[in-house]
Amino acid sequence: MAGQTIDALGQFKLHPLFGEFGKSIGFSQSELMMIIATVLIPVLVCLGMRRKAIVPDRFQAATEMCYEFVHDMSLSTLGPAGKGFFPFIFSLFFFILTGNYLGLLPFSFAFTSHIVVTVTLALLVFIMAIIVSFKYQGLKFFAHFMPEGAPVAMAPLLVPIEILSYLSRPVSLSIRLFANMVAGHVMLIMFAAFTIMLASSFLGVAIGGFLGIFPIALNIALIALELLVGALQAYVFAILSCMYLREAIGH
Amino acid sequence: MNNEEKKKESFDSFDQKLAAFEKRVNASKNKAHTEISDNNSELWRIVFRAGVELFSGFAVGVAIGFGLDYWLSTKPWCMIVFSILGMAAGVLNVWRIVKPSDISTK
């Protein structure tokens, strides 16, 4: 990072871990963070519910709040069928949330900032929605691509548009999460680099170093913003998955 | 028996009190999750979402057009047709976000 250029995207580079073994199976820090996230969520939930007190302590109350939040969300959007999809939505939401938040720790890596990961998650939801809609609606699923009440003569124009609109769902779902995370992390590293550039500039360490406090102050505010964005994006991803599934169940 | 009934009753009233308390403390919990609030601070979220939807429709159209051109070697016709259809799909996506709730079209 030192010097006159800002290497804003170098932080998203993947490095193989664990020497030759990691190199041969392509195990990078992204996979490591995913495994940490996957282990962390059940461990935290189990630890939080260990005492099962009627009057919960803070840890248990936080766990129950998380559970109830996703439970309410899936039931209010999906109706009674939401109970079946709740485990899926819960793991989706907390996998993304934990990934976003783990990425904010120093020396860690935000795996949600890679479009491969977000596209995979979005395709998971998309394919699942298709399977669910075939199960619930059968071949009437295809009737959705023709808007009701439209004249049949318009079908050659309307049907492709509807199909494209349907196909654009996983794209927008994944780009939104990915773009938010990349933008946040690039901004963080830009302001961190400003501090170093100021300190090593012609102003000298005394003045430049002092001025470098301001980018750091801004970075603290940005971390707060990133906490908000991380939660919001996980929420948006989960709620949109719920809405797609609701449409798949519908009628 | 009587004792148990009393116990149940007290539990019921506790639930009611809890529900009333939660309603008072946590008003946002009772809102439906899908509704778009007209809160100004959330406006940028909707704007960003609409932008991504607009772009993704176009991106899918271009991708399909490119793929079909490559497959059928009809350069550039599929690309032209499908990118226009993709733009229309993007506008349709945005319309679904911003449409007033009292309009019942799909």
Question: Mean pLDDT in chain A?
Answer: 84
Distances, alpha carbon A125 to alpha carbons A62, A130, A145, A173, B23, in Å: 27, 9, 19, 10, 33
**Between chains, do B106 and A147 touch, taking CB under 8 Å as contact?**
yes
| Angstroms from A39 CA to nearest CA on chain B | 29
Round to whole Å and give the CA distance between A132 and A141: 10
Structure tokens at A69: 């939040």
Nearest partner of A191 among A166, A223, A168, A159, judged by Cα: A223
* Structure confidence at residue A126 as a pLDDT band (50, 70, 90): very high
The model carries a pTM of 0.78
Total residues found in chain A within this entry: 251
Question: What is the average per-residue pLDDT within A214-235?
Answer: 89
pLDDT tops 80 at residue A94: yes
Question: What is the average per-residue pLDDT within A142-146?
Answer: 79
DSSP secondary structure letter of residue B48? H
Identify which of A76, A144, A167 has the shortest CB distance to residue B33. Answer: A76
pLDDT of B33: 45
Tell me the residues of chain A between 92 and 111 that have a Cβ less than 8 Å away from chain B. none
Model confidence pLDDT, tens digit, residues A198-211: 877 777 777 777 88
pLDDT tens per residue, chain B (106 residues)? 466 666 666 667 777 777 777 776 665 555 544 444 555 667 777 888 888 889 999 999 999 999 999 888 888 888 899 999 999 999 988 888 887 776 665 4
Question: What is the average per-residue pLDDT within A103-132?
Answer: 89
Question: B46 and chain A: CB distance < 8 Å anywhere?
Answer: no
Residue of B nearest to A237 (CA): B49
Question: What is the average per-residue pLDDT within A92-121?
Answer: 89
Residue A138 φ/ψ, nearest 5 degrees: 65, -140
Nearest partner of A126 among A58, A174, A185, judged by Cα: A174
pLDDT of B34: 47
pLDDT of B62: 92
**More confident position, B90 or A249:** B90
3-state per-residue secondary structure call for B52-70: HHHHHHHHHHHHHHHHHHH
* Structure confidence at residue A1 as a pLDDT band (50, 70, 90): very low
